[in-house]
């Protein structure tokens, strides 16, 4: 988090100066502490004092580094030997690649630990930086492997559903994985899909298309 002290005739003017200087258009991306509301002379006479504010802000270029530091602190608290191998930023996301000899421990059963770690990191980074960028964690290309496995699984179950005429409900999945199943089968004329349940228990149900 960076800090900038700036003065103006009024608090409002000082705030406008800060936004202009930092090239930030959204007030939600900065936090302002009023150090001195200032004082103006009467009818132009007397002693006047400028308003002074302290602006706390986070430069967009620092989001990846901020995420890296938070992740490594969490991993240290978990007592897991791991580090951030690399990170890349796009307009809306930061992709973070982890490296560890204990990758299975970080991934967890069906990626649950990795998802929990990613959720925690996003909460902390968003709170500390006011950034809306989403942090995506990966290790040993787990996400690509998981995506490939889910596509294969959904197609196999779709064939079984079409053959038997009986619906099949998959295990609970996160929003990304559920969407992946829907997209994989959206052009399959023999089955249809829908999500059921609430929260972390939400699942995808694959059903046969009724013949007319």
- pLDDT over 80 (residue 121): yes
User: Looking at per-residue confidence, does 10 or 45 come out higher?
Assistant: 10
Residue 41's pLDDT is what?
A: 59
Strands 203-208 and 93-100: unpaired
Per the DSSP assignment, residues forming a β-bridge with 192 are 207
Catalogue all structural domains in the chain, each as residue range(s) with its CATH number: 2-57 (no CATH), 62-140 (3.30.300.20), 144-208 (3.30.1370.50)
Contact 44, 106 (CB under 8 A): no
Residue 210's pLDDT is what?
A: 84
Calculated CA dihedral for residues 118, 123, 127, 129, nearest 10 degrees: 20
Contact 182, 193 (CB under 8 A): yes
Report pTM.
0.64
pLDDT tens digits, one per residue of 33-55: 999 988 875 555 556 789 999 99
* Burial (0-12, 13-18, 19+ Cβ within 10 Å), 141: exposed
pLDDT tens digits, one per residue of 12-31: 999 999 888 887 877 877 88
If you ran DSSP here, which 8-state letter would residue 32 be given?
A: E
- Maximum Cα interatomic distance, the chain, rounded to a whole number of Å: 91
Residue 119's pLDDT is what?
A: 93
Contact 182, 158 (CB under 8 A): no
List the one residue out of 108, 160, 174, 167 whose CA is nearest residue 139.
108
- Cα 58 from chain centroid (whole Å): 16
pLDDT tens digits, one per residue of 64-110: 888 898 999 999 898 888 999 999 888 788 999 999 998 999 999 98
Residue 177's pLDDT is what?
A: 94
Residue 208's pLDDT is what?
A: 97
List the one residue out of 185, 181, 84, 173 whose CA is nearest residue 125.
84
User: Looking at per-residue confidence, does 4 or 29 come out higher?
Assistant: 4
Mean pLDDT of all residues in 182-190: 96
């Amino acid at each position: 988090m960076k800090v900038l002290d700036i003065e103006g005739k009024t608090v409002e003017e000082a705030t406008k100066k800060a936004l202009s200087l930092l090239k930030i258009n959204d007030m939600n991306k900065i936090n302002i502490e009023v150090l001195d509301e200032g004082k103006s002379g009467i009818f132009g006479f007397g002693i006047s004092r400028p308003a002074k504010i302290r602006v706390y802000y986070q430069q967009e270029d620092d989001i990846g580094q901020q995420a890296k530091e938070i992740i490594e602190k969490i991993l240290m608290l978990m007592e897991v030997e791991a580090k951030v191998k690399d990170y890349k930023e796009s307009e809306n996301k930061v992709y973070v690649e982890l490296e560890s000899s204990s990758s299975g421990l970080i991934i967890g059963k069906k990626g649950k630990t990795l998802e929990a770690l990613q959720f925690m990191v996003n909460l902390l980074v968003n709170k500390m930086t006011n950034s809306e960028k989403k942090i995506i964690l990966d290790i040993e290309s787990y996400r690509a492997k998981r995506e490939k496995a889910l596509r294969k699984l959904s197609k196999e179950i779709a064939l079984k559903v079409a053959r038997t005429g009986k619906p099949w409900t998959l295990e609970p999945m996160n929003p990304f994985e559920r969407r992946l199943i829907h997209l994989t089968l959206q052009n399959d004329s023999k089955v249809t899909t829908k999500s059921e349940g609430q929260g972390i228990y939400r699942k995808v149900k694959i059903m046969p298309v009724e013949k007319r």
